[in-house]
Amino acid sequence: MEKNGEHLERSEPGEEARLLSLVDIFDGLEPREVPDFVRECASVAVRKGEVFSTPSDPPEKALFILKRGRVRVFRKGASGREFTLSVLDGGTVFGELDPTERRPRRSYAQAMEPSEVVPLSREDVERLILEKPRVGLRLVNLLFERLALHEQRLEDLGLKEVPARLANVLQELIESQGIRSGSVYKLPTHYTHRHLATMIGANREAVTRAFKVLREYGVVETHRRNIQVRDFDLLERAGEDGFLRESDGNGSDGVS
């Protein structure tokens, strides 16, 4: 599939199995040990910027295996304002799995770069858990970890100022996606202020001010529109409540 000059090549059958074996819930399995019905599920190529999962989709769509690419999972408030729950790299799963099928789905998924996903139905997931209980346990643990992260984000919204919330989310991104070059940690993906705003429950202008604060404190740098961190310990401290305050030269005011 091609758009805006970007193209995602389809994987060969052997490569398909290898990519699936690298997915976190299949960790430790050989490519041949990944259940046949999972390997036979059709992959879907999605374009950069494409929203390919919405609350209005058929209820039988439960989870997606993200084989390649990067995906943003988000929700929308009543006003249409977006809140990003997570940004995921290839080699993981995501989605909403409700055993009762009674709770309405609320999340959207958007490709941040050309990506390849494998949709799994509720029946597929149940079969996977029955055939590979160890995989089912990993899946449950993964979903609980993400739930804990989402709850922490919501807690931060009410307790922390914008610079601290921004420092927290930058720490998450560097831990999951960052590349270390010498003493510098770099985020290879360009995140706009709007993207980051949706991750911390702020507006773009507040994120711009927060970046100014973090730069003034030496917490972050930007190089060719990409974010860099030289002192990861300082970034962690910047995420603590009350560590940073925004100064206008005549005093200090908290940013919210």
Q: Over the stretch 204-221, which tens digit does the pLDDT of each residue have? A: 999 999 999 999 999 999
pTM greater than 0.85 (yes/no): no
Structure tokens at 175: 């831990």
Count other C-beta atoms under 10 Å from residue 223's C-beta: 9
CATH of 22-156, one of 2.60.120.10, 1.20.1730.10, 3.40.50.720, 1.20.1600.10: 2.60.120.10
Ordered by start, the domain boundaries in the chain are 22-156, 160-248
Q: Is pLDDT at 24 greater than 60 in this prediction?
A: yes
Class of domain 160-248 as given by CATH: mainly alpha
Count other C-beta atoms under 10 Å from residue 70's C-beta: 19
Torsion of CA 212, 213, 215, 220, to 10 degrees: -110
**Percent of the chain at pLDDT exceeding 90:** 43
Q: CA 106 to CA 235: how far, in whole Å?
A: 32
